[in-house]
Chain A
């Protein structure tokens, strides 16, 4: 394939502020996938992916916005397991994603994806798994759109991003490097989610969990929207990590005051209360 190097032609006019403001933001390409984020993290050293693997996650939430965010966070966990080349954890996460998808009434559409995830994990096909995880997430989103649940689409992505931030900050905290920390500079992503969360319908936006998540989003937005060349200190990384971790914890919490026996990974999802 013939490629031509292109040195920025002086005749190319820089974009105006208006042109930049008018740029389309299409979630499926404007927002990077966790796999893309972790690919960059992997290049900055030898991340200890096993150390950032989560313990079994609570799957018992019943509020759809919470389930959607939890599902997204679970997809990010899938990428962590792939980076760690842990096939069994990938399979477990695949089952959990299916459990959450069923709760959102999109389980039927992703059954095939769930089977693919298990097959690729069985064969240690890590590259295929990265693509399959994203395809699964998009399949969920597409089905949500088709069943008029568009509000939940951005929440799936948001859950994945928050969990991705938590993972990256944990990795950086364990072994600080300016290069890894610099990857936290994501003003466009933070801006997208702050805007999108603010555009949610009132009944979703003003839900106690969403109010808390939006407050944390605003804090993260402020922290990651630094000028080009900014060096994130270890303290700044830790601060971002705490906010992201708190958000992920809230996403996974069972909000009911007297929860029944919790359904966690390892339980048979078919016998869930």
Chain B
């Protein structure tokens, strides 16, 4: 039996009056095809649709992804390791159009980075060239709606 995770989580938040626990619950630990909810599957399909345009520009898509639930009260953060010389696009999508996502990148000191943004209904992509090889952080925010299932993928060249 599949339960719509956003409903379940929203109910849990309402009952407990607490914010959901950190990344270990909100995000997919492995990110390559675990048993995802329908919403995550849908979000991934939408992200792949957008990332297809980057593939036309020579970007290769990573096979894995980050997924879970994001709420409007708590941004989520993802650590990645990138290489200077490569160019990257990170694409995040929600299952529905009315979730306004925002995506930003930060260096290992937490300083925001310059880049390019693509935004559409329920989808956002951030592209940039890392100034140095090492750790970077992505911040995913939800503006429209209380909670949304999301999927983030990335491409590089």
Query: A residues bordering B, Cβ < 8 Å?
Result: 1-9, 12, 14-17, 19-20, 22-33, 35-37, 39-40, 43-44, 127, 130-131, 134-135, 138, 141-142, 145, 153, 179, 182-189, 228-229
- Cβ–Cβ < 8 Å partners of B143 in chain A: none
- Cβ–Cβ < 8 Å partners of A188 in chain B: 79-81, 108, 134-135
With A6-B115, A7-B114, A22-B77 already in contact, the answer to whether A186 and B133 are too (CB < 8 A) is yes
- Cβ–Cβ < 8 Å partners of A44 in chain B: 85
Query: B residues bordering A, Cβ < 8 Å?
Result: 22-24, 26-34, 50, 53, 60-66, 76-86, 104, 106-119, 126-127, 132-135, 137, 139, 152-154, 156-157
Is A179 within 8 A of B109, CB to CB?
no
With A7-B114, A12-B104, A44-B85 already in contact, the answer to whether A29 and B77 are too (CB < 8 A) is no
A20 CA to B72 CA, complexed, in Å: 19
- Cβ–Cβ < 8 Å partners of B86 in chain A: 36, 39-40, 43
A189 CA to B118 CA, complexed, in Å: 28
With A19-B110, A40-B85, A228-B108 already in contact, the answer to whether A145 and B79 are too (CB < 8 A) is no
**Which of the listed residues B31, B32, B112 has the most CB atoms from chain A within 10 Å of its own CB?**
B32
17 of the cross-chain contacts (CB-CB < 8 Å) are A5-B117, A6-B115, A14-B112, A15-B110, A19-B139, A26-B30, A28-B30, A28-B66, A29-B154, A32-B81, A40-B86, A131-B63, A182-B133, A183-B83, A186-B134, A188-B80, A228-B134
Return the 9 tightest CB-CB contacts between A and B, nearest first. A28-B64, A15-B110, A28-B31, A24-B23, A40-B83, A23-B77, A188-B135, A138-B32, A23-B79
Is B61 within 8 A of A153, CB to CB?
no
Task: Among A4, A7, A27, A28, point to the contact of B118 (Cβ < 8 A).
Answer: A4
- Least CB distance, A110 to chain B, in whole angstroms: 13
- Least CB distance, B76 to chain A, in whole angstroms: 7
- Cβ–Cβ < 8 Å partners of A153 in chain B: 30
With A23-B79, A37-B83, A141-B30 already in contact, the answer to whether A28 and B22 are too (CB < 8 A) is no
- Least CB distance, A40 to chain B, in whole angstroms: 4
Is B62 within 8 A of A6, CB to CB?
no
Is B83 within 8 A of A3, CB to CB?
no
Is A23 within 8 A of B157, CB to CB?
no
- Cβ–Cβ < 8 Å partners of B157 in chain A: 39
A31 CA to B154 CA, complexed, in Å: 12
> Which residue of the partner chain A has the closest CB to B35?
A146
- Least CB distance, A165 to chain B, in whole angstroms: 13
Task: Among A30, A43, A135, A228, point to the contact of B85 (Cβ < 8 A).
Answer: A43
> Which residue of the partner chain A has the closest CB to B83?
A40
Is A14 within 8 A of B77, CB to CB?
no
